[in-house]
């Protein structure tokens, strides 16, 4: 970090703020921001809005024009070096006459992975990497995990009462949390590439599992006109083929992937409905995550019942646990948060580290990350 000045930090933070504006739209691409600086002044800035559209560097260079010659580019991710849907950004920076490129981090995409910076160096452009890397990693944690492991970043969302209950004994659960918490859920859904649930949840609640953009904060709606936005893919575990074409899921014209172990006839279902067949195995959930990663799902937001939640936790498949707690008591007969079947002693319990706490009225949103511990022989 010593090689970077305070001014470098300021410009990279601006680039990160720009990158964040693509958080609802860029999937399966990463969110990237770029700032072009000359003589201490910003002459161009941009961010990547959507896959297939110009990358952040291109947008910033367009704004900078001839001022890009002799300037420094601050980019939140290593410039790409390959032809995809768009030309390589490293080549664009070279042709524009930029003399230095500062990247927050390397791109783990095998098609890039250092090649972008190498291309710059070979063309006489100074480069540096590592400025505000932790913030850049956090912004694109879903994309980065998929590139590094082949699996999406898994977020398990649960809502509970003070005594850890999710519904009354009769199944009534609307609403445990308040309107502010539910609006925040819409924001979190909007960031996800896909939402995962089960046929049991779909049958019991008949949800849309979509993003209700009108519930997002006004400032968000002003930045992102609804017409430009997307709905996350709805992924439903439905091994018994219980989800019918009449479910509310299909009222929203957005992809639905029904996952099962057997072949399925989708006659009568909308054309945006797809069946994913996975072989039955003890690694079924692992296989599902790899399949979703193969299908370019970066971040997977999960809203389901206690059984799936418990299975994901027991198999160490949750990267982030998000719990909304309401100031209510539902009692012993109410339904629990998750089913953990293999827990016989407290020392075997999964440990979690508190990442953040946020208040929504009288509700509390807590985010936890798993603590990886070595098991004793």
CB neighbourhood size of 268 (10 A) = 9
Q: Which helix (H) or strand (E) holds 291?
A: helix 284-294
Cis status of the peptide bond prior to 175, with omega within 30 of 0: yes
| Alpha helical stretches, state H, 123-261 | 133-139, 141-149, 179-191, 199-205, 218-223
Q: Are strands 72-75 and 41-47 parallel, antiparallel or unpaired?
A: unpaired
Per DSSP, the three-state class of 199 is helix
Instruction: Supply 63's token pair.
Output: 């704004």
Distance of CA 363 to the CA centre of its chain: 23
Instruction: Supply 40's token pair.
Output: 């201490």
Instruction: Supply 364's token pair.
Output: 């509390």
Q: How far apart are CA 207 and CA 305, in angstroms?
A: 13
Instruction: Supply 132's token pair.
Output: 């505000």
Q: What DSSP assignment string belongs to 243-255?
A: --TTSGGGGS-S-
186 and 212 in contact (C-beta within 8 Å)?
yes
Q: Which residues, in sequence order, are bridge partners of residue 356?
A: 367
The residues assigned a catalytic role are 57
Q: How far apart are CA 275 and CA 265, in angstroms?
A: 9
DSSP-derived letter for residue 94 is: H
Q: How far apart are CA 70 and CA 133, in angstroms?
A: 25
Q: What DSSP assignment string belongs to 79-125?
A: PP-S-SSS--HHHHHHHHT--EEEESS----TTTTTHHHHHHHHTT-
238 and 200 in contact (C-beta within 8 Å)?
no
DSSP-derived letter for residue 107 is: -
Q: How far apart are CA 170 and CA 148, in angstroms?
A: 43
Instruction: Supply 83's token pair.
Output: 């032809």
| Alpha-carbon dihedral 169, 174, 175, 181, rounded to 10 degrees | 120
């Amino acid at each position: 970090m010593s090689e970077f000045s305070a001014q470098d930090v300021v410009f990279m933070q601006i680039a990160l703020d720009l990158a964040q504006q693509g958080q609802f739209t860029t999937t399966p691409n990463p969110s990237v921001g770029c700032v072009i600086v000359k003589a201490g002044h910003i002459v161009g800035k941009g961010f990547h809005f959507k896959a297939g559209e110009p990358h952040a560097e291109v947008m910033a260079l367009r704004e900078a024009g001839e001022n890009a010659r002799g300037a420094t580019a601050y980019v939140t991710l290593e410039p790409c070096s390959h032809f995809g849907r768009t030309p390589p950004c490293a080549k664009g920076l070279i042709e524009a006459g930029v003399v230095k490129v500062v990247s927050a981090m390397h791109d783990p995409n095998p098609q890039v992975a250092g090649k972008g910076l190498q291309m710059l160096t070979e063309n006489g452009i100074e480069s540096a990497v590592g400025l505000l890397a932790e913030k850049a990693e956090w912004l694109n944690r879903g994309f980065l995990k998929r590139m590094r492991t082949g699996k999406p970043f898994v977020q398990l969302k649960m809502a509970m009462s003070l005594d850890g209950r999710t519904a009354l004994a009769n199944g009534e659960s609307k609403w445990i949390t308040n309107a502010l918490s539910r609006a925040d859920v819409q924001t979190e859904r909007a960031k996800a590439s896909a939402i995962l649930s089960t046929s049991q949840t779909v049958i019991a609640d008949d949800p849309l599992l979509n993003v209700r953009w009108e519930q997002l904060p006004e400032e968000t709606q002003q930045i992102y006109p609804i017409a430009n936005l997307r709905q996350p893919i709805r992924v439903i575990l439905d091994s018994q083929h219980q989800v019918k074409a009449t479910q509310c899921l299909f009222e929203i014209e957005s992809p639905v992937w029904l996952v099962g172990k057997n072949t399925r006839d989708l006659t009568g279902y909308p054309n945006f409905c797809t069946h994913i067949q996975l072989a039955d195995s003890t690694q079924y959930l692992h296989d599902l995550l790899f399949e979703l990663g193969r299908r370019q799902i970066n971040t997977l937001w999960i809203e389901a019942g206690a059984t799936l939640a418990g299975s994901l936790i027991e198999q160490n498949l949750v990267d982030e646990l998000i719990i909304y707690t309401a100031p209510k008591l539902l009692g012993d007969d109410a339904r629990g948060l998750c089913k953990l079947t293999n827990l016989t002693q407290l020392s075997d319990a999964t440990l979690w580290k508190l990442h953040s706490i946020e208040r929504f009225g009288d509700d509390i949103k807590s985010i936890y990350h798993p603590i990886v511990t070595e098991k004793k022989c």
